[in-house]
Structures are given as C-alpha cells and as structure tokens.
C-alpha cells in the first residue's frame, strides 16, 4: 500500500500547485517536502505552460505549524547533521520563493507558524481567512524567528516585528493584514470556489481576489500600536522589558512577563537579528546570517530544553541556560553570528 505523499505536486491547467499533505503533523515541513517543492518550482520556473503557482494544504487543520521540530531535536542530541541539513535546504526554498519570477499565491488558512511563514510569506498574493493564526514563537523553544524573519519582521511598521519576535504573539487575520502578513482576506468557505476560479483563469488572479475579498474586521493590535512603537524601540531586550514594566498599561506589563519566560539567549539573538536584518541590503544576506545562527542553535542546550518542555513533556517549565537576560554575555550573542567555514556557509541554489 503506497503512502500518501508529504506534498502533492501537480499542474492543473496553467497552474502549478503545491499542497502540503501532513495533516496529522499540521503539515510540519520536512527535508523531503522542501526538496520536492524546490524540484517542482525549479521545473515550473522555465516552463511556459505554467503561468502561476499556488501553495495550499490538504484537510482542515491549518496551513503549516513550522518545521518538524521533534526530528530536529533528535538530530540536535547527536551530531546535528540532519538538523543543519534541514535548515540549509529549507532556506534554499525560502530564497527560491522570494526571488521567484512567476506569480505565487499562498493560502494561509489556519495555523501559519515558523517554517509555514517561510513558504507563504514570499508569495505575491497571501490569502488569509477567519481561521488564520500567524506566529513566530521560536524564542519559546530556544530558537529564533528564521525563514526570512530577519527581513520581514524588521520591515514591519512601529517595531511590530520586534514585538512578534520577542513575545511569539499570535495574530488573527485583521492584524495579519495590518502588518502585511496577508494581502487579502477571504472567508474559508469560499476558498474552493476561489481556487477553482484561479485555475480556470490564472491571468485574472488579482481581479478574482478583489471579487472574493471580505472584511476581516478591526485589527485588535491597532489599539496597542503606539505603545509597541514606543516600548519596542529599545536598543536591547533589557531596555524593552524595562520600558514595558514601567508602563502604566496592564497590557504592556503582561508583554514583559511573556518575554521573560522565553529563552534569554534566543531573545537577545532575535533582537540583534532584527537590527541586522533592518540594515541588510538583500534577502540573500539575511538568509546567510540566519543559517549561521541556526547552525549553532540546532545543537544548543536551550533548543533541546525548549522542545522537551513545550513539545515532549509539555510541562512548560524550561530551564534555560543562561537563566536570565543579565546572565547572557555579549560574547555568547556574537558567537551565534560569526562566519562559518567556507564549506559550512549557506549558499542559495546554483
């Protein structure tokens, strides 16, 4: 009996379609998925019969919860080769999509976190629904907001990206539209009809999205936008936490408490990552930087401990090392950003 493919690859009319197909794992990305998506996208890039690419998921459970974290952690307990190999190929896929010459439409219906952001955010058109939940929660498991987070989060207005990176906050569709994560909001019940219409006439995609667009409502985070802009402008995580704690807003003080539950090392790396990302001149530059960080954190104590606490034992009581922001040395943060050997450095697809 043949197993279901992890990603369903086919051409429908003039549309190349990639459907994530691991519903039992919330479509978490694997090395196989990344390789197969790269192979399809590379073939379609120069195929005049394919006019548009569509990325979606099977079933009802959400678009993509991220990378296959358990497998990465198992690798991290050993030599880390498999985990680093996953990040290397995943970032090549992110880069390919970022520079893809044909129109890409992603359907960000349901949970969109971590690696799911990396395969949907580069699309020209990004469709959210009432079921969309976006987050970059990596600092809570000892990682960092990667897959291009250095580029996308750093370019959100009013330091909203820094807030998302340090707190792992979850956004629904209206907020996703506010910060530019989605470009269009469509009710989930209408997605099959919309997808069929795009397959029938890919050249009309922009008109179709306008026809199907609904109103997501007021973005809740807009009420806190000024406060985020003020408090998250700090030049260090400690400065941000201090500003939040000094606020007369209960919401702001709660954000400080949330940050202090995350990996202190990851939090400081994420802050530096977004500062560097804002200065970066190209997406290639940030992907190389992110791979240097991933190469090191993939085998780190905090990643293995974060996975244990959040995903394996689910006690949500990680014992971070170092245990506090004050205990994280500048040298430890610097080390994460250091160049690798020429053989280890990340490179885009040739």
pLDDT digits (tens, 9 = 90+) for 161-214: 999 999 999 999 999 999 999 999 999 999 999 999 999 999 999 999 999 999
Q: Is 320 left (phi over 0), alpha (psi -120 to 50) or beta?
A: beta
Q: Residue 150: phi, psi to the nearest 5?
A: -60, -30
SS3 235: coil
Q: Considering the candidates 6, 109, 138, 305, report the single residue annotated as catalytic.
A: 138
What is the reported pTM?
0.97
Q: Residue 285: phi, psi to the nearest 5?
A: -60, -45
pLDDT at 1: 42
Spell out the residues 6+ positions from residue 304 whose beta carbon is closer than 8 angstroms to its own.
Answer: 73, 76, 77, 142
Inter-residue contact 219 to 178 (CB < 8 Å): yes
If we measure between CA atoms, which residue out of 53, 86, 66, 54 comes closest to residue 22? 66
Q: Considering the candidates 16, 80, 83, 115, report the single residue annotated as catalytic.
A: 115
pLDDT at 70: 85
* Alpha helices in the chain, H assignment, sequence order: 31-45, 69-77, 81-98, 115-120, 149-152, 160-167, 173-179, 191-200, 205-212, 225-231, 237-246, 250-259, 264-279, 283-297, 301-307, 330-337
With a cut of 70, list the residues of the chain below it in pLDDT: 1-2
Is 115 one of the catalytic residues? yes
Burial 299-325 (b: 16+ CB within 10 A, else e): bbbbbbbbbbbbeeeeeeebebebeeb
Q: Considering the candidates 67, 116, 168, 277, report the single residue annotated as catalytic.
A: 67
H or E stretch at 8: strand 7-12
Is 67 one of the catalytic residues? yes
If we measure between CA atoms, which residue out of 89, 64, 74, 77 comes closest to residue 7? 64
CA 99 to chain centroid: 17
Q: Considering the candidates 56, 146, 177, 290, report the single residue annotated as catalytic.
A: 146
Question: Parallel, antiparallel, or unpaired for β 125-128 and 103-108?
Answer: parallel
Q: Is 56 left (phi over 0), alpha (psi -120 to 50) or beta?
A: beta
Q: What residue ranges do the domains of the chain occupy?
A: 7-337
**Bond before 322 cis per omega within 30 degrees:** yes
Q: What is the DSSP letter of 67?
A: B
Looking at 3.90.226.10, 3.40.1030.10, 3.50.50.60, 2.60.40.10, the CATH number of the domain 7-337 comes to 3.90.226.10
Q: What is the DSSP letter of 64?
A: B
Spell out the residues 6+ positions from residue 257 whose beta carbon is closer than 8 angstroms to its own.
Answer: none
pLDDT at 2: 52
């Amino acid at each position: 009996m043949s197993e279901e493919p992890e990603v369903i690859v086919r051409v429908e009319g003039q549309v190349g379609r990639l459907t994530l197909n691991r519903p039992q794992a919330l479509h978490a990305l694997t090395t196989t998925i990344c390789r197969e998506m790269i192979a399809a996208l590379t073939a379609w890039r120069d195929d005049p019969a394919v006019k548009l690419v569509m990325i979606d998921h099977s079933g009802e459970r959400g678009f993509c919860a991220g990378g296959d974290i358990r497998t990465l952690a198992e690798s991290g307990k050993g030599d880390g080769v498999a985990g680093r190999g996953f990040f290397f190929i995943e970032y090549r896929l992110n880069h390919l999509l970022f520079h893809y010459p044909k129109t890409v439409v992603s359907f960000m219906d349901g949970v969109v976190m971590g690696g799911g952001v990396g395969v949907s955010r580069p699309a020209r058109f990004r469709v959210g629904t009432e079921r969309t939940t976006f987050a970059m929660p990596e600092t809570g498991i000892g990682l960092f907001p990667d897959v291009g987070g250095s580029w996308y989060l750093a370019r959100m207005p009013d330091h909203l990206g820094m807030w998302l990176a340090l707190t792992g906050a979850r956004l629904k569709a209206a907020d996703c539209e506010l910060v530019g994560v989605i470009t269009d909001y469509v009710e989930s019940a209408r997605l099959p009809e919309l997808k069929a219409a795009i397959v029938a006439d890919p050249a009309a995609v922009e008109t179709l999205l306008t026809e199907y667009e609904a109103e997501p409502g007021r973005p809740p985070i807009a009420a806190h936008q000024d406060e985020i802009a003020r408090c998250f402008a700090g030049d260090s995580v400690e400065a941000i936490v201090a500003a939040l704690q000094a606020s007369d807003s209960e919401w702001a003080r709660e954000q400080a408490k949330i940050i202090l539950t995350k990996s202190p090392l990851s939090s400081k790396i994420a802050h530096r990552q977004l500062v560097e990302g804002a200065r970066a001149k190209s997406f290639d530059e940030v992907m190389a930087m992110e791979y240097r960080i991933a190469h090191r954190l993939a085998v780190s104590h905090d990643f293995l401990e974060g996975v244990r606490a959040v995903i394996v034992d689910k006690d949500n009581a990680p014992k971070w090392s170092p245990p506090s922001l004050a205990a994280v040395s500048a040298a430890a943060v610097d080390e994460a950003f250091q160049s690798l050997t020429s053989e280890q450095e990340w490179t885009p697809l040739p």
